[in-house]
Chain A
């Protein structure tokens, strides 16, 4: 063992390195966290176009501010530790002090990380239960926005490789355009005809997977008129990358005009479509067979 270092320890060092790190960290965090909250926070998506989007943006802002002190701690610790404790050039490599444990530090670390985790989980649950946060919740949603009973119903039918939007309140109108009335609570019932898709309305802060045979409900409360992108967020086959379009949130007069225009356009095929609920039809057709499916046996 020629290269085995001697068992000598490094010279005793009375500097309180730990205190230095803690002080630098506290000062740095106290400066960095408000700066991040003020300057980075407003840039964080998905923006304030809807109540749900606003909720997510707030959530992201809180968490960005939350992780800043953690980043600062690690940065200060490693910057200080690696500079202070590394072996200088041409210096013999001695063994360090044989410190094996410190139960107080362990306890402190466990308590702090547990408190942080419980805060995160509590905060996330509270935010989720406020209004559903725009996420798909399945057929029996539990996180409901204030006016969910009077929600404007839209069924989003995903298939390879496009979305069709069905409006039961407009006599079962089906269109490939997504128009939503402004300042309204909207219930999006997302389903699929074939593979798994995911309905992602980015600016609205909505994402809900489309599974065949499943009615996946996502709530969104629109605010003022705006446009938004819709795209499929789950790999669904060959043309998945081109499965996107735009949607609009418009005021009620424009919405009525659009609805009657669409009803005129699609009047000729209405007899072949599912009946609306008011005329005895099922509210949502969850599957259909576009052609005889040999695999279905």
Chain B
């Protein structure tokens, strides 16, 4: 820690007062009840389909909006605007706080936000994973036995929504927030308060989704198709609010990333010297900024259908269920690449370090990332091949979907050729990256069947498509998420993770992941429909096998959790500054990185992949260079 000495500690009760998470939660609950009783006071009637109850859609919306506003006020998001209105000069005082309390309050240090994201997203990742365990418990029997039907559908919906919503920021949240400013030689993000806002909005959203169980859950799965959405019970409003808030968070996160990468690169960091991870973040951020507003729009329409009785999606009154499907997938298909692209970038970023070779075909890799980003806008109706919408456009969407495999193939080629003739060491991050090739290959090749319209007639809506996207998203995103954790967390926290436990975690996760999802490809082909706890008896063996594998996969996650807690809370083995021999700039800084990152803004003269090309760059700042802005 090179930062200035901390001020003398205050008594605990004094520290609990002020703008922090505790205040935020209390004000959030207060705001929630204000909204709840406010909505009842203005006489909003229940729109419940069958009977009148003591709650109604409007009160749910207003309650949660009040709660979110109270939560943000309690964290201190209004302090700065009010101070500016009262004429005080701009400052970033939130960044200068010390100690563990800064992790529980509004902090504009991008490194604190990154670590907040890591734990916050990790929490919801485990809740989502727990839902998956319960789903597999139900699937142990071909009949519905473990849960009531509505509970089962809520579990399915919460698992999907939690993973698709929270994990969109799974890599951009923790790792891009932490690393992008360092990698581009900056001391902060372009908009530090917005950066903090994206995190706390996401946490508020997560709380909203989790509390859907108090309002009866929702029956629609993560897609929330109307008109089922319109007739669902008030738990559906939690889904709508959750995803809309996630959309706001995503848009702001993406804008912040784009602004930072475009405007705050250090001298000498040209576009061809940018680490490939930053390129991946940029291409993902563009998708986020353009896709998430569509989601917010379509959910707003859904909310209006539910509260104000508009008829956007009600066919009986002139609306169309196609409208929802169209708008949702205009967001939804870029969304899956928002999940996958950071994974590509992490694989390409890590392979050179552990193959001790420069990244092969840098420009082709960038073209691959940007190509996927662009093409992902032209494929969304492949989710609707059998819907009867635009039947004559199916050949076009078949072609555009299959075209995406060309830029995806660039990533494969660059990764494989980087390994070729390298000096490969099987460290834990490298193992996760190599597993990515296997998983994404299976995901991609099963996608060939889904992209083909005749074949999609059988596989659409079956466990085949479900296994396919788990191979691409869990195999593509979550494996690289763990690669990033094992690679960067020692740098971020300053403490090492236990390598033996990490290897056990990898092998159990890799084996049981495949043992879970490969049989599901077969189950889908044999006719098992998604999201249904009822299946034909001939599929019982496959499903039992899958359930047991899934439980073992869950245990593998517990091994990881144990390793994390054990290494970071008890052992606390200090990490070296550069344990991997990496040439990237973040590993030339001490662990953990000091508050202001650099004493002076570095000057870049090369990309970070010059393995075998002479001594490592020192990022020396020449005398007389500008010290850089705060």
Binding site for B on A (CB under 8 A): 1, 3-5, 7, 9-10, 13, 17, 44-46, 52, 55-56, 59-60, 63, 66-67, 70-71, 74, 77-78, 81-82, 85-87, 93-102, 105-106, 109-110, 113-114, 117, 120-121, 123-125, 127-129, 133-143, 190, 194-196, 198, 200, 202, 205-209, 211-218, 229, 231-242, 244, 287, 289, 293-297
Give min CB distance, B176 to chain A, whole Å. 26
Give min CB distance, B46 to chain A, whole Å. 11
Check if B316 sits within 8 Å of A113, measured CB to CB: no
Do A95 and B388 contact each other (CB < 8 Å), given the known contacts A196-B321, A212-B315?
no
Q: Which residue of A lies closest to B579 (CB)?
A: A3
Do A238 and B219 contact each other (CB < 8 Å), given the known contacts A95-B423, A205-B457, A207-B458?
yes
Give the docked Cα–Cα distance between A82 and B441 (Å).
17
Give the docked Cα–Cα distance between A102 and B613 (Å).
17
Q: Which of B377-404 contact A (CB under 8 A)?
A: 384-392, 394-395, 398-399, 402-403
Q: Which residue of A lies closest to B456 (CB)?
A: A135
In this assembly, does B7 line the interface, its C-beta being within 8 Å of a C-beta of chain A?
A: no
Give the docked Cα–Cα distance between A97 and B611 (Å).
8
Residues of B within 8 A of A242 (CB): 534
Partner of B406 from A70, A114, A214 at Cβ < 8 Å:
A114
Do A141 and B391 contact each other (CB < 8 Å), given the known contacts A85-B422, A297-B311?
yes
Q: Which residue of A lies closest to B363 (CB)?
A: A101
Give min CB distance, B51 to chain A, whole Å. 12
Partner of A128 from B231, B416, B453, B460 at Cβ < 8 Å:
B453
Check if B457 sits within 8 Å of A235, measured CB to CB: no
Check if B402 sits within 8 Å of A120, measured CB to CB: yes
Question: Interface 1/0s, chain B 86-113, versus A by CB < 8 A?
Answer: 0000000000000000000000000000
Residues of B within 8 A of A214 (CB): 315, 321-322, 388
Check if A139 sits within 8 Å of B461, measured CB to CB: no
Nearest 9 CB-CB pairings of A with B: A216-B388, A213-B315, A137-B391, A133-B454, A138-B388, A95-B612, A233-B461, A212-B315, A98-B612
In this assembly, does B496 line the interface, its C-beta being within 8 Å of a C-beta of chain A?
A: no
Residues of B within 8 A of A133 (CB): 453-454, 457
In this assembly, does B264 line the interface, its C-beta being within 8 Å of a C-beta of chain A?
A: no
Q: Which residue of A lies closest to B408 (CB)?
A: A113
Check if A95 sits within 8 Å of B149, measured CB to CB: no
Residues of A within 8 A of B398 (CB): 121, 124-125, 128
Do A45 and B417 contact each other (CB < 8 Å), given the known contacts A136-B387, A213-B315?
no
Residues of B within 8 A of A10 (CB): 421, 423
Check if B315 sits within 8 Å of A96, measured CB to CB: no
Check if B391 sits within 8 Å of A140, measured CB to CB: yes
Residues of A within 8 A of B588 (CB): 1
Check if A128 sits within 8 Å of B581, measured CB to CB: no
Could you write out 5 A-B pairs with CB less than 8 Å apart? A195-B227, A205-B457, A205-B458, A207-B458, A211-B388
Do A294 and B49 contact each other (CB < 8 Å), given the known contacts A117-B403, A137-B388, A233-B529?
yes
Q: Which residue of B lies closest to A125 (CB)?
A: B395
Partner of B531 from A139, A207, A240 at Cβ < 8 Å:
A240
Check if A96 sits within 8 Å of B611, measured CB to CB: yes
Give the docked Cα–Cα distance between A108 and B440 (Å).
22
Q: Which residue of B lies closest to A84 (CB)?
A: B421
Check if A211 sits within 8 Å of B322, measured CB to CB: yes
Could you list 20 further interchain pairs (A-B, Cβ under 8 angstroms) beyond the known A135-B394, A214-B321?
Answer: A1-B578, A4-B616, A63-B449, A85-B419, A93-B356, A93-B423, A95-B612, A96-B355, A96-B423, A97-B421, A99-B417, A109-B410, A134-B457, A137-B391, A195-B321, A196-B321, A234-B461, A240-B532, A287-B315, A294-B47
Check if B533 sits within 8 Å of A241, measured CB to CB: yes
Check if A102 sits within 8 Å of B445, measured CB to CB: no
In this assembly, does B317 line the interface, its C-beta being within 8 Å of a C-beta of chain A?
A: yes
In this assembly, does B2 line the interface, its C-beta being within 8 Å of a C-beta of chain A?
A: no
In this assembly, does B556 line the interface, its C-beta being within 8 Å of a C-beta of chain A?
A: no
Residues of A within 8 A of B532 (CB): 231, 240-241
Residues of A within 8 A of B456 (CB): 135
Check if A110 sits within 8 Å of B406, measured CB to CB: yes
Check if A121 sits within 8 Å of B395, measured CB to CB: yes
Check if A208 sits within 8 Å of B309, measured CB to CB: no
Give the docked Cα–Cα distance between A182 and B278 (Å).
60
Residues of B within 8 A of A110 (CB): 406
